[in-house]
Structure 1
Amino acid sequence: MKYLTGIFLLLLMQTATASQCRVDGGGWIDVTQDSVSIQVPVKTNPGTGLILLDGYQLECRYTPDGFPALFRDYWHTWDNALIPGPKFTSYRMGLRIKNTDYPVPVGRRIHIATMPNNGRGVNLNTYMYILIQGSPGNPIDIVQGDLLGTMVLKQTNNTGNPLEPIVRVYLYADNSFVVEPSTCTINNDQAIDVNFNQVDRTRIGESVISTPITANIRLNYSCPDPGITLPITITLKGPPAGFDSGVLNMSNPDLGTGLLRAGVQVRPEGAFQTNIYNSSGGDDVTFALTRRVGSTPATGDFSGSATLVMGVP
């Protein structure tokens, strides 16, 4: 009987630290070698002074093993509890744990979850966030599969098991998204309406240099942090026209709109360099309407859209 009792206790010790996790009610994933890799669908939600990377529910549980439900695991943060992924290393990050924010470096022993041995998942209610900044910075382009960050947690229990493993939860993006942590703005973040008004289709030129159909727009740059003087870039984001990759696509397939700054054409996904002095600046730019070579565009309304993005060289 002593031999059988010894085997029983050994099995109890092995299962006492076992855990599983899942996302949005999906299949359970075993925590193996004290780590688990999770694919999470992320949304970016602005908060007070931060952008929250949430939009999913991450649950973990004490792996069902048939033992009494009085057994429990406890998950806490540990040293450097958040290690941001490579694309976030130059930004100020943190963890929101049960609606309380902890900036990096996140310390140890912050309680996250208690997991009874009842087979039920417990929502960790813990998300990464980015602190926004009042100076220019480049948008963060997250691609599906990117490592968002690693949570370093300590797992304890009430089973008498002396093992207290470190659990690393690797969070990978299950979707692509772009997040802009800077609060600097172009034209106070208001939409820029480029209106060519009534256009004689016979006068539309075939290049941004030759066309007489243009609209001049003033771009004003501002940052809330005082005393910022540095070079910046303004990038034109939008789909190119099918007949000319140097101009923006319009709803009329024979039309395109180009951007000129100081007489130099800026292509879609291209940029020009300018400056901010004492947290403000500006440029005059020209939008030019063009047509496909040899075409006579159909009459009627047309439209297009693009985004101007402020960044740093």
Structure 2
Amino acid sequence: MTKVTRTARPVLSLLTGLSLLSGAAQAGTSSDTLTVNVTVIAEPCTINGGSPVQVNFGDDILTTGVDGGSYIRDVDYNLACPDATNDDLKMTISGPSAGFDPTVLQGDQPALGIKLLSDGSPMPLNQPLNFNRNTPPHVQAVLVKDPAGTLVAGPMAVSATMIVEYQ
């Protein structure tokens, strides 16, 4: 999975600013040197010790039993933020949304997806969820089926990226 630090946004803003400055320098008759100093105030959090977070539903899923509640698994992960100066974090799980439901992660089977829950409530997909690092959210994955689709027996995989940032 991915780890992100608080400094990612200032860098993007800086690149935009440099782009604007370079346009102005080209239009004018003089140029000057720009010096940028950056201080990193905290190391990034590490998700799952740097290893992928995996959820296995097993090999005994019945296509007729996928109803959005029968097959639910915990998303086991851990966070290490040893240099955090603030306990306020935000988590975003990013991935492609299913055509039949924008809150569901699309798998490689068109009629099957994964809905995420945070502490038992639907978790927003591709949107940040604020939390305190001392009480990280209990994330669960639920198999869901497209009501208009037909499930096919066979393996299914879903990929997503978990991003944890300082607020």
Q: Where on the TM-score scale, by shorter chain, does this alignment land: which range?
A: 0.7 to 0.9
Normalised TM-score (structure 1): 0.41
Aligned partners of 1:136 and 1:232 also within 8 Å: no
Tell me what 1:237 maps to. 94
The match for 2:46 is 185
Higher relative contact order (CA closer than 8 Å, sequence separation 6+): 2
Is 1:246 equivalent to 2:103 in the alignment? yes
Asked if 1:167 corresponds to 2:31, the answer is yes
Aligned identity (percent) is: 24
Q: Alpha-carbon deviations, 1:198-227, whole Å to 9, x = none?
A: 21111001x4xxx2111112332112316x
Superposed CA RMSD: 3.0
Secondary structure (helix, strand or coil) at the match of 1:167 reads: coil
| Structure with higher helix content | 2
Are 2:72 and 1:214 aligned? yes
Q: 2:26 is matched with which residue? A: none
Query: Among residues 12, 16, 31, which one is paired with 1:146 in the alignment?
Result: 16
Aligned to 2:6: 137
1:66-85 equivalence runs, <5 A: none
| 1:202 matched to 2:64 | yes
Shift of 1:189: 2.1
Q: CA deviation at 1:266?
A: 1.2
Asked which structure has the greater CA Rg, the reply is 1
Residues 117-163 of structure 1, C-alpha deviations (whole Å, 9 max, x = no match): xxxxxxxxxxxxxxxxxx952643859x9344668xxxxxxxxxxxx
Match of 1:270, as an amino acid? Answer: Q
TM-score, normalised with respect to structure 2: 0.73
Contact preservation (8 Å) 1:235, 1:271: yes
Structure 2 counterpart of 1:246, one-letter code: T
CA contact (8 A) 1:136 1:223 kept: no
Q: CA deviation at 1:289?
A: 0.8
Relative to structure 1, the CA distance from residue 169 to residue 291 in structure 2 (aligned partners, 3 Å threshold; closer, same or farther) is farther
- Separation (CA, whole Å) in 2 of partners of 1:265 and 1:142: 31
Segments of structure 1 that go 5 or more residues without pairing to the other structure are 1-134, 152-164, 171-180
Tell me the distance in 2 between the aligned counterparts of 1:193 and 1:296. 25
Q: Distance between the aligned counterparts of 1:242 and 1:196, measured in 2? A: 22
Does 2:160 match 1:306?
Answer: yes
SS state of the match for residue 49, structure 2?
A: helix
Q: Tell me, yes or no, if the aligned pair for 1:247 and 1:257 is still in contact at 8 Å.
A: yes
Question: Does the residue aligned with 1:137 lie in a helix, a strand or coil?
Answer: coil
Residue 296 of structure 1 is aligned with which of 141, 150, 154? 150
Q: Quick check: 1:276 aligned with 2:133?
A: yes
Return the letter of the residue paired with 1:262: D
Amino acid in structure 2 at the alignment position of 1:297: L
Instruction: Give, as a single letter, the amino acid of the residue that structure 1 aligns with 2:31.
Output: V
Q: Structure 2: state its 5+ residue gaps.
A: 23-28, 35-41
Matched residue count: 147
2:81 paired with 1:223: yes
